[in-house]
């Protein structure tokens, strides 16, 4: 039986942070073997969704999909040492409502305006708490896309753009032109490069944006004693972090540059020694073998053969237009994922991705879908004062299949907006010619 969070007081849980779909708390109550050193990850719902609860439904709510997805899919691809423990935990309406009431004020205003804890849920996720109890500090990085696409499936128009500038740098340009605050100057290919000077450059860029945006951009977060650090241009805003860093001259107040250098020096060895970023970029690249452009062409080919067959059969389907990418594909079940992985792990490396077979369209769509989870996850670096440093990958949720057409359209929009730039950024993919 899963542990029951309602046996604890909602005030025993402290807000950590939230993303687009989840909000996370850590346990801060009296000693409790079920909850010590754990984090509670709850699903959110949009404010305009009226929470109707059907009390008559007796059957057990299924566990959050992320738990089974991690246990049965992600763990076959990523070493367990890089993953947090994830288990189901029971929650209840009144308990969640109380938790919501206690924490509403602490949440960022722009999130509060949009959504809140989904109080209809009866189950949530209990994970290893990665930010509390270290007596050191924790760094969270959302590294995003770590590769340049192979030119094979790119059109003549997009090839020069997409093989020169990475998806993140192009997307940042688009978002920035639309008024969004982004990590300008940070290139994921530097972070993923495995080269000390380039990783340092990436960390400096992340730090500068973190300070400049008062921590509002999601590519870098820092926690001290379970609390998020809210930076500003005043070095005093970083006092909690400064206490944890080995500063060259602890007697004089550190400058922002001094803090940045000490911060970078502290986490650089971890990123150099633990190959988690290499694992992530390899998975992203291998699973996205065709680029969304090649996938889209394969999708059209698969439809053309369905249409041709309809003509042969004398049916009316021969002239049907090609529907948007992914239309009509069912959400993969765990059985589908298992079958997919059996092929991926044994045959993918030897398949001819330069000449993909339209009969494999479902395989390539699933591969792309899975690549998007690895492109959107975060890594958490824990640097306890006296313990072993660790790196853990979080937020490896399964993405819904109906996003495929969004990704196809977004890709076109990003490249179109970037193509007009007279001085594009040149991003270097350190691992481009190597396979794993």
Ligand X SMILES: Nc1ncnc2c1ncn2[C@@H]1O[C@H](COP(=O)(O)OP(=O)(O)OP(=O)(O)O)[C@@H](O)[C@H]1O
Ligand Y SMILES: O=P(O)(O)O[C@@H]1[C@@H](OP(=O)(O)O)[C@H](OP(=O)(O)O)[C@H](O)[C@H](OP(=O)(O)O)[C@H]1OP(=O)(O)O
Cβ closer to ligand X: 86 or 325?
Answer: 86
Which of ligand X, ligand Y, none interacts with 403 (beta carbon under 5 to 8 A by kind)? ligand Y
Applying the rule CB under 6 A, the residues between 240 and 269 that interact with ligand X are none
- Three-state SS for 422? coil
Contact status: 21 vs ligand X (CB under 6 A): yes
Q: How far is CA 95 from the centre of its chain?
A: 29
Q: How many residues bind ligand Y (CB under 6 A)?
A: 9
Contact status: 19 vs ligand Y (CB under 6 A): yes
Q: Using CB under 6 A, which of the segments 18-26, 55-63, 73-81, 230-238 binds ligand Y?
A: 18-26
Applying the rule CB under 6 A, the residues between 137 and 176 that interact with ligand Y are 142
Among 20, 30, 253, 387, binds ligand Y (CB under 6 A): 20
Binding mask 284-323 for ligand Y (x = CB under 6 A): ----------------------------------------
Among 99, 131, 271, 383, binds ligand X (CB under 6 A): 131
Contact status: 221 vs ligand X (CB under 6 A): yes
Name the minimum Å distance from CB 85 to ligand X: 9
Q: Using CB under 6 A, which of the segments 17-25, 61-69, 301-309, 333-341 binds ligand Y?
A: 17-25
Instruction: List the one residue out of 87, 107, 144 whose CA is nearest residue 24.
Output: 107
Cα separation, 413 vs 410, in Å, equals: 5
Residue number closest to ligand Y, CB atom: 20
Cα separation, 213 vs 183, in Å, equals: 9
Cβ closer to ligand Y: 42 or 259?
Answer: 42
CB 214 within 8 A of CB 231: yes
Inter-axis angle of helices 361-375 and 276-287, to 10 degrees? 150
Which of ligand X, ligand Y, none interacts with 64 (beta carbon under 5 to 8 A by kind)? none
Q: How far is CA 82 from the centre of its chain?
A: 14
Output DSSP code: residue 10.
G
Cα separation, 304 vs 358, in Å, equals: 10
How many Cα atoms sit within 13 Å of 145 on the Cβ side?
24
- Three-state SS for 59? coil
Applying the rule CB under 6 A, the residues between 325 and 384 that interact with ligand X are 376, 378
- Three-state SS for 369? helix
Q: Using CB under 6 A, which of the segments 194-202, 272-280, 290-298, 389-397 binds ligand X?
A: 389-397
Q: How many residues bind ligand X (CB under 6 A)?
A: 23
Cβ closer to ligand X: 16 or 119?
Answer: 16
Cβ closer to ligand X: 226 or 356?
Answer: 226
Q: What is the strand order of the sheet 220-224 is part of?
A: 227-228, 220-224, 137-141, 378-383, 390-394
Give the tokens for residue 399: 């993405």
Instruction: List the one residue out of 203, 163, 175 whose CA is nearest residue 187.
Output: 203
Applying the rule CB under 6 A, the residues between 196 and 225 that interact with ligand Y are 218
Among 129, 190, 408, 411, binds ligand X (CB under 6 A): 129
Cα separation, 113 vs 284, in Å, equals: 33
Q: Virtual CA dihedral for 110, 112, 114, 115, nearest 10 degrees?
A: 140
Name the minimum Å distance from CB 301 to ligand Y: 25
Contact status: 18 vs ligand X (CB under 6 A): yes
Cβ closer to ligand X: 221 or 285?
Answer: 221
Cβ closer to ligand X: 130 or 383?
Answer: 130
Residue environment code for 396-423, b if the CB has 16+ CB neighbours within 10 A, otherwise e: bbbbebeebbebbeebeebbebbeeeee
Instruction: Please report, as ranges, the residues that interact with ligand Y according to CB under 6 A.
Output: 19-21, 142, 218, 372, 376, 399, 403
């Amino acid at each position: 039986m899963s542990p029951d969070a309602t046996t604890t007081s909602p005030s025993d849980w402290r807000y950590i942070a939230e993303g687009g779909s989840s909000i996370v708390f850590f346990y801060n109550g009296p000693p409790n073997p079920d909850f010590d050193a754990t984090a509670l990850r709850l699903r959110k719902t949009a404010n305009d969704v009226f929470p109707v609860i059907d009390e008559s439904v007796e059957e057990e709510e299924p566990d959050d999909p992320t738990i089974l997805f991690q246990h049965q899919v992600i763990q076959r691809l990523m070493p367990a040492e890089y993953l947090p423990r994830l288990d189901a935990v029971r929650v209840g309406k009144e308990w969640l409502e109380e938790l919501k009431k206690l924490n509403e004020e602490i949440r960022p205003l722009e999130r509060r305006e949009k959504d809140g804890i989904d109080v209809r849920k009866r189950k949530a996720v209990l994970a290893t708490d990665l930010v509390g109890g270290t007596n050191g500090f924790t760094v969270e990085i959302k590294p995003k896309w770590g590769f340049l696409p192979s030119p094979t499936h790119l059109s003549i128009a997009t090839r020069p753009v997409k093989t020169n500038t990475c998806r993140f740098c192009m997307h940042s340009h688009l978002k920035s032109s639309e008024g969004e605050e982004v990590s300008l100057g940070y290139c994921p290919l530097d972070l993923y490069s495995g080269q000390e000077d380039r990783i340092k450059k990436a960390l400096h860029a992340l730090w500068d944006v973190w300070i400049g945006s008062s921590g509002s951009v999601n590519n870098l977060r820092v926690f001290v004693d379970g609390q998020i650090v809210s930076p500003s241009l005043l070095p005093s805003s970083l006092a909690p972090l400064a206490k944890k860093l080995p500063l060259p001259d602890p007697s004089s107040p550190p400058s922002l540059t001094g803090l940045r250098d000490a911060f970078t020096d502290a986490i650089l060895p971890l990123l150099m020694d633990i190959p988690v970023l290499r694992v992530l970029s390899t998975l992203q690249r291998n699973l996205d073998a065709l680029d969304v452009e090649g996938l889209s062409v394969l999708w059209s080919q698969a439809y053309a053969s369905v249409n041709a067959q309809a003509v042969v059969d004398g049916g009316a389907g021969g002239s049907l237009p090609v529907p948007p990418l992914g239309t009509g594909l069912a959400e993969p079940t765990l059985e589908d994922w298992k079958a997919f992985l059996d092929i991926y792990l044994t045959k993918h490396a030897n398949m001819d991705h330069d000449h993909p077979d339209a009969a494999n369209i479902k395989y390539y769509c699933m591969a792309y879908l899975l690549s998007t989870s690895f492109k959107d996850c975060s890594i958490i670096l824990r640097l306890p004062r006296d313990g072993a440093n660790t790196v853990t990958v979080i937020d490896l949720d399964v993405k819904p299949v109906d996003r495929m057409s969004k990704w196809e359209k977004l890709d076109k929009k990003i490249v179109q907006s970037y193509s007009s730039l007279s001085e594009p950024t040149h991003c270097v993919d350190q691992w481009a010619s190597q396979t794993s």
